Amino acid sequence: MARGGRPKREEQDLPPYVQQALVLRAGGANWQQCAEAVGTSAANLREWRKHPDANGFLQEAIRSNLDQAHSLFADAAPRLAERLIALGLDERVKGYTAVSAISEAFKILQTGVVDQQQREQIEAIKAQLTALEDGTPEVIDV
């Protein structure tokens, strides 16, 4: 017999306001701030957080934010390198005053590259595991 009424939360798509709240959460807002921004309660958002699609959506929003931040560092890298060289060659400037900030920027850039490579490797491993579980013969274990 068919069940009447509204479908369960887990059976619905994530509503746009919940998606917007998850994007805000990925950007660093707490649940209360997210709720106020989208006009709902924090308790309601926490319930939507249990939705099967919520974690994937949140993780994608976080990855997008990280990619955007790393792009900013990558775009600034040539200017930072030029500044580092200028500081190192300028006899009047005590290089240690700016070197640590510039050095940190390069560390962040390198970390982003390594993280991206690790994410790609993890995705490849997941694809191989899925292929093994599905029994597809495309995976060759060497």
Q: 107-139, pLDDT tens digit by residue?
A: 877 887 888 889 889 988 988 888 787 776 554
Residues 99, 84: contact at Cβ < 8 Å? yes
User: What are the DSSP calls for 106-123, one per residue?
Assistant: HHHHHHHHHHHHHHHHHH
Q: 56-87, pLDDT tens digit by residue?
A: 999 999 989 988 988 998 899 888 878 877 77
